Amino acid sequence: MIYLDHAATTPLDPQVREAMLPWLDDAVGYGNPASDHALGRRAWAAVEHARAQVAALVGAMPAEIIWTSGATESNNLAIKGALEFRGHAGAHLVTSRIEHKSVVDTCRHLEARGVRVTWLVPEANGTIGVEQVLAAVRPETVLVSLMWVNNETGAINPIHELAPHLRERGVLLHVDAVQAAGKLPIDLDTTPIDLLSLSAHKLHGPKGIGALFVRKRPRARLAPQIHGGGHEQGMRSGTLATHQIVGMGCACALAAQRLATDAPHLAALREQLWQRLRVLPGVYRNGDPAHSAPHILNLSFEGVEGESLRARLGDLAISSGSACSSATREPSYVLRALGRDDELAGASLRFSVGRTTTSEDIDRAAARVLAEVGALRALSPRWGT
Ligand X SMILES: Cc1ncc(COP(=O)(O)O)c(C=O)c1O
- List active site positions: 324
Q: Can you tell me which of 10, 76, 118, 151 binds ligand X, judged by CB under 6 A?
A: 151
Please, what is the minimum distance in Å from the beta carbon of residue 297 to ligand X? 15
Do 126 and 153 contact (CB within 8 A), yes or no?
A: yes
Do 262 and 182 contact (CB within 8 A), yes or no?
A: yes
User: Binding of ligand X at residue 64 (CB under 6 A)?
Assistant: no
Q: Can you tell me which of 86, 92, 100, 183 binds ligand X, judged by CB under 6 A?
A: 100
User: Binding of ligand X at residue 179 (CB under 6 A)?
Assistant: yes
Number of residues that bind ligand X (CB under 6 A): 13
User: Binding of ligand X at residue 298 (CB under 6 A)?
Assistant: no
User: Binding of ligand X at residue 70 (CB under 6 A)?
Assistant: yes
Stretch binding ligand X (CB under 6 A), from 132-140, 171-179, 245-253, 293-301: 171-179
**Residue 86 or 183 with smaller CB distance to ligand X:** 183
**Residue 167 or 336 with smaller CB distance to ligand X:** 336
Stretch binding ligand X (CB under 6 A), from 110-118, 129-137, 176-184, 218-226: 176-184
- Report which of 100, 106, 162 is spatially closest to residue 129, judged by C-alpha positions: 162
User: Binding of ligand X at residue 141 (CB under 6 A)?
Assistant: no
Using Cβ positions, the residue closest to ligand X within the complex turns out to be 70
Stretch binding ligand X (CB under 6 A), from 67-75, 259-267, 288-296, 373-381: 67-75
Please, what is the minimum distance in Å from the beta carbon of residue 186 to ligand X? 14
**Residue 181 or 277 with smaller CB distance to ligand X:** 181
User: Binding of ligand X at residue 152 (CB under 6 A)?
Assistant: no
User: Binding of ligand X at residue 71 (CB under 6 A)?
Assistant: yes
Print burial letters for 177-210: b (CB count within 10 Å at least 16), e (below 16). bbbbbbbbebebeebbbbbbbbbbbbbbbbbbbb
Please, what is the minimum distance in Å from the beta carbon of residue 46 to ligand X? 21
Q: Give me the residues that bind ligand X (CB under 6 A), please.
A: 70-72, 100, 102, 147, 151, 176, 178-179, 199, 210, 324
